[in-house]
C-alpha cells in the first residue's frame, strides 16, 4: 500500500538521522545515560513487538528504525565494547525470524561503521577541530575491535540458526502427507491421457519431460500397461 510505503520511507529518514547523531557522539551529552538508553531500548522493543503484530513482513524502514534505536542504546551504554554489546546478537536473531526479511548485511555494515567511527571521533577531537594523532592511535585498536562486533554477531546468528534449521527434523503435517500421496503433474496428466490416447490412436504410452527438485529435466516414458 502507498500509505505503508510512505511510512517506511519516513522511518528510513529518521533512522538515518539517528545513525548520524550516534556517529557524531551526540549521545555523549546526555546527562542520564541509563535513563536515555532504557528509553531507546524500550522504543525498539515497542516497534519490534507491538507494531509488527499487524504485519509479519514489515517495511524496510521498520527494520532500520529498530536497528538504529538498538544502536543508540548500545552507544549510550558504552558502545560495542560496553556491557550492552549483547543487544546486537538479539537484534540479528530477531531479524532472522522466518516472518521477517530485511537488509541484514547492510544493517550490520552500518552498525560496524558507527562502532568504529564513534570512539575515534570522541577521543581524537575531530568533532571540535583539534585532531590529536596520539589519541587516534590509542583508540584505533579498540575502535577496530568494536567495529567488528556487529559483523561477528550477525555471522554467529547466521551460523547458529543455519545449524539449528539443518539439524532439526520437521514432522510432516497431514496436509503435506496428503499432497505427497496425491498424484501430481505429470503423473496425473499421464494417467488421464494414456487411456484416451491408447483407445483413439492405439499408442501404448506417452513421453513427458519431468523436472526434479534440482531443476534437472528428464524425458520419462509413461507406459499404458504400467
Q: Are residues 204 and 152 in the same domain?
A: no
pLDDT band for position 80 (cuts 50, 70, 90): confident
Task: Answer whether residue 178 is part of any domain.
Answer: no
What is the per-residue pLDDT across 143-168, written as a single tens digit (0 to 9) for each? 889 999 999 998 888 888 766 555 54
**Per-residue pLDDT, 41:** 93
Q: Are residues 60 and 94 in the same domain?
A: yes
Residue 57 has pLDDT above 60, yes or no: no
Q: Are residues 216 and 131 in the same domain?
A: no
Q: Are residues 144 and 204 in the same domain?
A: no
Query: Using CA atoms, how far apart are residues 55 and 57, in angstroms rounded to an integer?
Result: 5
What is the per-residue pLDDT across 22-47, written as a single tens digit (0 to 9) for each? 877 666 667 788 888 899 999 999 88
**Per-residue pLDDT, 99:** 55
What is the per-residue pLDDT across 206-225, written as a single tens digit (0 to 9) for each? 776 776 766 677 777 777 66
Q: Which residues does 7 contact at the CB level (< 8 Å), separation at least 6?
A: 59, 61
Q: What is the longest distance spanned by two Cα atoms in the chain?
A: 94
Q: Is 2 helix (H, G, I), strand (E, B) or coil?
A: helix
**Per-residue pLDDT, 171:** 52
Looking at per-residue pLDDT, the higher value among 29 and 95 belongs to 95
Q: Are residues 26 and 68 in the same domain?
A: yes
Q: What is the CA radius of gyration of the chain?
A: 28
Amino acid at each position: 500500500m502507498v500509505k505503508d510505503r510512505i511510512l517506511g520511507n519516513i522511518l528510513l529518514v529518521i533512522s538515518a538521522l539517528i545513525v548520524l547523531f550516534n556517529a557524531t557522539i551526540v549521545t555523549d551529552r546526555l546527562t542520564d545515560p541509563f535513563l536515555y538508553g532504557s528509553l531507546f531500548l524500550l522504543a525498539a522493543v515497542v516497534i519490534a513487538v507491538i507494531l509488527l503484530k499487524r504485519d509479519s513482513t514489515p517495511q524496510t524502514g521498520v527494520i532500520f528504525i529498530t536497528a538504529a534505536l538498538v544502536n543508540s542504546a548500545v552507544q549510550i551504554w558504552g558502545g560495542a565494547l560496553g556491557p550492552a554489546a549483547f543487544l546486537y546478537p538479539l537484534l540479528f536473531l530477531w531479524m532472522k525470524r522466518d516472518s521477517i526479511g530485511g537488509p541484514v548485511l547492510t544493517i550490520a555494515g552500518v552498525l560496524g561503521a558507527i562502532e568504529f567511527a564513534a570512539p575515534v571521533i570522541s577521543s581524537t577531537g575531530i568533532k571540535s577541530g583539534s585532531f590529536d594523532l596520539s589519541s587516534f592511535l590509542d583508540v584505533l585498536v579498540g575502535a577496530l575491535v568494536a567495529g567488528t562486533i556487529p559483523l561477528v554477531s550477525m555471522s554467529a546468528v547466521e551460523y547458529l540458526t543455519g545449524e539449528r534449521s539443518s539439524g532439526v527434523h520437521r514432522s510432516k503435517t497431514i496436509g503435506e502427507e496428503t499432497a505427497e500421496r496425491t498424484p501430481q503433474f505429470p503423473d496425473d496428466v499421464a494417467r488421464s491421457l494414456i487411456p484416451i490416447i491408447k483407445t483413439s490412436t492405439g499408442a501404448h504410452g506417452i513421453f513427458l519431460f519431468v523436472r526434479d527438485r534440482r531443476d534437472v529435466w528428464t524425458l520419462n516414458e509413461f507406459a499404458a500397461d504400467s
